[in-house]
Amino acid sequence: MARPEPDRAEICRRFGIDGSDLPRHVALILDGNGRWASRRDLPRTEGHRRGEPALWDVVEGGLALGIEWMTVYVFSTENWTRPKDEVEFLLWFNRDILLRRREECLRKGIRIRFMGRRGRPVPRALVETIEESEALTAGCRRLNLTFAFNYGGRAEIVDAVREIAAAAAAGDIDPRRISERTIARHLYVPEMPDPDLLLRSSGEMRISNFLLWQSAYTEFMFPKRLWPDFRRRHLYEAIARFQRRERRYGGIID
């Protein structure tokens, strides 16, 4: 018989998490799939395949704890430079995940979003599946799950600047009044709060063009574990550590 899901209080107790002070937004760079596969003499695509159960376990974990926003980096604007077979696999695999999981997301209250450029070379069929999945789950309120796909932090800022420049040229924005808020309002998901915690699996200590604007005061962690081996307990351990950090935002804490 399946064991019942531990409730939120039980998770907090077990992992030493303060349930009244959770990160509102956890961002994840799902890295290390290729190395996971290579170490087993498997094709890299097998590593990506094995990343899916890891992702859903972590998402379920976030849902059980009551995290409001999770953003996962699944394909960067630079990942097009990979071998054609791997790129093709990733495009169709992401579509396949949506088709298989979106009803479950709807039932569980998970709102699916994609952030990134949707034009060519992203296949039309994938864009259609993304749009359908977003529409299907648009009313979900428990967890905002955003896939950063064909996403680059610099591209996002460029796209925001283009929109703002067009509005300025049309006389709708006064250039002297452009502020940080103006830029934030023109990002791909304007209502997304800045991430409190960013986790990158596989031990690489870099941002690789993820959420450049939004991560100005994010806390970073680089667990060594490769993504396919990541589970919700690793998310919980990271959150407990996050809560012991002191966030200063340039100020001074008494």
Catalytically active residues are 31, 79
Q: How far apart are CA 137 and CA 143, in angstroms?
A: 11
Contact 193, 69 (CB under 8 A): yes
Query: Under the criterion CB under 6 A, does residue 156 sit at the interface with ligand IPE?
Result: no
Written as one letter, the residue type at 191 is E
Say what the alpha-carbon torsion angle 203, 206, 208, 213 is, to the nearest 10 degrees: 130
Query: Under the criterion CB under 6 A, does residue 230 sit at the interface with ligand IPE?
Result: no
Query: Under the criterion CB under 6 A, does residue 30 sit at the interface with ligand IPE?
Result: yes
Q: Which member of 90, 98, 130, 187 binds ligand IPE (CB under 6 A)?
A: 90
What is the three-class DSSP state of 97? helix
Rank residues 31 and 219 by Cβ distance to Mg ion and give the closer one. Answer: 31
Q: Which member of 54, 69, 70, 73 binds ligand IPE (CB under 6 A)?
A: 73
What is the β-pairing status of strands 197-200 and 143-151?
unpaired
Query: Under the criterion CB under 5 A, does residue 31 sit at the interface with Mg ion?
Result: yes
Smallest distance from ligand IPE to CB 79, Å: 5
Distances (CA, A) of 130 to 7, 59, 135, 147, 243: 31, 18, 9, 10, 34
Smallest distance from ligand IPE to CB 37, Å: 8
Rank residues 182 and 208 by Cβ distance to ligand IPE and give the closer one. Answer: 208
Kindly list the strands in the beta sheet with 197-200, ordered across the sheet, starting from the edge strand earlier in the chain.
Answer: 110-115, 143-151, 69-76, 25-29, 197-200, 219-221
What residue 30 binds from ligand IPE, Mg ion, none (CB within 5 to 8 A, per partner kind)?
ligand IPE
Q: How far apart are CA 165 and CA 158, in angstroms?
A: 10
Q: Which stretch binds ligand IPE (CB under 6 A): 10-18, 68-76, 124-132, 244-252?
A: 68-76
Rank residues 79 and 215 by Cβ distance to ligand IPE and give the closer one. Answer: 79
Q: How far apart are CA 187 and CA 179, in angstroms?
A: 13
What is the three-class DSSP state of 151? strand
Rank residues 8 and 49 by Cβ distance to ligand IPE and give the closer one. Answer: 49
Q: Which stretch binds Mg ion (CB under 5 A): 23-31, 57-65, 163-171, 223-231?
A: 23-31
b/e code 143-174 from CB counts within 10 Å (16+ = b)? bbbbbbbbbbbebbeebbeebbeebeeeeebe
Rank residues 11 and 150 by Cβ distance to ligand IPE and give the closer one. Answer: 150
What residue 195 binds from ligand IPE, Mg ion, none (CB within 5 to 8 A, per partner kind)?
none
What residue ranges bind Mg ion (CB under 5 A)?
Answer: 31
What residue ranges bind ligand IPE (CB under 6 A)?
Answer: 29-35, 73-76, 79, 90, 202, 204, 206, 208
